A and B are shown apart, each in its own frame.
Chain A
Amino acid sequence: MTNVGPPAAVNGRISIRNVSKVYDPDGVNVLAVDNCSLEIAAGEFCVVVGPSGCGKTTLLNAIAGFHGITSGIIELDGEELCSAGLTTEPGSERMVVFQNGALFPWYTVLENITYGPEVQGRASAREARRAASVLLGELGLSGIAHRYPGEISSGMRRRVEIARALINDPKVLLLDEPFRAMDALTKGVVQEFLLQAYDRVRKTVFFITHDLEEALFLGTTVVIMTTRPCRVKKAIKVDFPRPRSYRVRSSQRYLELKEEVFEAVHEEATKAFEAGERELA
Chain B
Amino acid sequence: MKRSQQTVFSKTVYRGFISIALLVTLWETGRRLNVPMLGTIPAPSEVLGLLAKMILKAEFWENWISSFRRVFFGFMAAQIVGIPLGLAMAANRVTHDVTFPMLEIMRPIPPLAWVPTAIIFWPTTELSIAFVIFLGAFFTVVINVLDGAKSVDVRYVRAALSLGSRPRDIFFRIVLPATLPSIFTGMAVGMGITWEVVVAAEMIAGKAGLGYLTWSSYVGGDYPQIVVGMISIGVAGYLCSSLIRFAGKWAAPWQRLF
CB within 8 Å of A: which B42-86 residues: none
**Whole-angstrom distance between the alpha carbons of A168 and B178 in the complex?**
23
A137-190 residues at the B interface, CB under 8 angstroms: 148-151, 164, 168
A148 touches B254 (CB 8 A): yes
Q: Please name all residues of chain B whose beta carbon is closer than 8 Å to the beta carbon of A102 when the two chains form the complex.
A: 153, 155-156, 158-159
Asked if A94 contacts B257 (CB within 8 A), the reply is no
Size range of the chain B interface in the assembly = 20 to 34
Please choose the segment from A17-25, A85-93, A271-279 that sits at the chain B interface, where 4 or more of its residues have CB less than 8 A away. Answer: A85-93
Q: Which of A98, A106, A115 contacts B180 (CB 8 A)?
A: A106
Residue of B whose beta carbon sits closest to that of A105? B254
Q: Which of B166, B180, B257 contacts A119 (CB 8 A)?
A: B166
**From residue B255, how far is it (CB to closest CB) to chain A in Å?**
8
User: Any chain B CB within 8 A of the CB of A66?
Assistant: yes
Give the CA-CA distance A164 to B258 in the complex, in Å: 23
| Complex Cα–Cα for A120 and B162 (A) | 11
Output the nearest chain A residue to B165 by Cβ-Cβ distance.
A119
**Per-residue interface assignment for chain B, residues 163 to 193, with 1 indicating a CB less than 8 Å from any chain A CB and 0 otherwise:** 1111001000110011010000000000000
Q: Is the CB of A96 within 8 A of B159?
A: yes
Q: Which of A65, A90, A150 contacts B257 (CB 8 A)?
A: A150
Contact check: which of B164, B173, B254 meets A120 at CB < 8 Å? B164
Cβ-closest chain B residue relative to A61 = B158
CB-CB under 8 A for A148 and B162, given A104-B174, A106-B177: no
Contacts of B173 on A, CB cut-off 8 Å?
Answer: 104, 115, 119
List residues 84-123 of chain A with CB under 8 A from any CB of chain B: 89-92, 94-96, 98, 100-102, 104-107, 115-116, 119-120
Determine if A148 and B164 form an interchain contact, defined as CB atoms under 8 angstroms apart: no
Min Cβ gap A57→B in Å is 12
Q: Is B252 an interface residue (CB 8 A)?
A: yes
- Give the docked Cα–Cα distance between A119 and B171 (Å): 12
**Candidate in A64, A104, A107 with the most chain B CB atoms within 10 angstroms:** A104
Among B208-258, those with CB < 8 Å from A are: 252-254, 257-258
Closest-by-CB residue of A relative to B155 is: A102
Determine whether B8 belongs to the interface, using a CB cutoff of 8 Å to chain A. no
| Cβ contact within 8 Å between A116 and B254 | no
**A116 to B153 Cα, complex, angstroms:** 19
A89 engages B155 (CB within 8 Å)? no
CA distance A102 to B174 in the complex (A): 11
Tell me if B257 and A92 are in contact (CB < 8 A).
Answer: no
Which residues of chain B are within 8 angstroms of A65 by Cβ–Cβ distance?
A: 161
Q: B124-155 toward A: CB 8 Å interface, digit per residue (1/0)?
A: 00000000000000000000000000000101
The answer to whether A66 and B164 touch across the interface, beta carbons within 8 angstroms, is no
- The closest CB in chain A to the CB of B258 belongs to A150
Q: Which of B153, B164, B174, B254 contacts A150 (CB 8 A)?
A: B254
For the complex, give the distance between the alpha carbons of A66 and B161 in Å.
Answer: 9
Q: Are A90 and B158 in contact (CB under 8 A)?
A: yes
Among A66, A148, A164, the residue within 8 A (CB) of B158 is A66
Q: Is there an interface contact between B158 and A96, defined as CB atoms closer than 8 Å? A: yes
Contact across chains for B159 and A91 when beta carbons are under 8 A apart:
no
13 additional A-B pairs beyond A120-B163, A150-B254, A150-B257, beta carbons within 8 Å, are A94-B162, A98-B158, A101-B155, A102-B153, A104-B177, A106-B178, A106-B252, A115-B173, A119-B164, A119-B173, A148-B254, A149-B254, A151-B257
A-B contact pairs, 6 of them (CB 8 A): A91-B162, A92-B162, A92-B163, A95-B163, A115-B160, A119-B169
